[in-house]
Amino acid sequence: MGIFKSVEMRGLLKSLLLGIIACVVAAVVFYFSALEETMAGSIGRLILIVSVFYAGCYVSKSYGNKGLVRGITMGVIYYIVLLIASLIFQESKIDIISYLTNFLLCLGAGAFGGILGIGLTSE
């Protein structure tokens, strides 16, 4: 299990697990409540932002330096993983605007998470 010694891989795994758990919780809430399904897109984007933000914050806090770069890197890595998964499992046509929007959300959330991670570093 040498691959999980990398801080980036641990951060990616933890943030993916956070995203999966949040998606399951959101699905249960939508199923058992009177919330409209039109809100699902907004909730999905919020889950994406929180997951990438956590990944950037975790990695930059672990290293203690270069928070912006490390956060943006985690955002790009997270986006690439989601892009590969969506290309494998999605049967519909590719919507370039949606992919670009998600890419920008990942970059921004990762950058802000990286900056906050540096602020949380205790020396």
pLDDT on residue 7: 86
pLDDT on residue 3: 61
**Is-contact 4 16, C-beta < 8 A?**
no
- pLDDT 10s per residue in the chain (123 long)? 566 678 889 999 999 999 999 999 999 999 998 888 888 889 999 999 999 999 999 999 888 888 889 999 999 999 999 999 988 988 888 788 988 999 999 999 999 999 998 888 765
**What DSSP line would sit under the chain, residue for residue?**
-GGGGSHHHHHHHHHHHHHHHHHHHHHHHHHHS---GGGHHHHHHHHHHHHHHHHHHHHHHHH-S-HHHHHHHHHHHHHHHHHHHHHHH--SPP-HHHHHHHHHHHHHHHHHHHHHHHHH---
* Prediction pTM value: 0.88
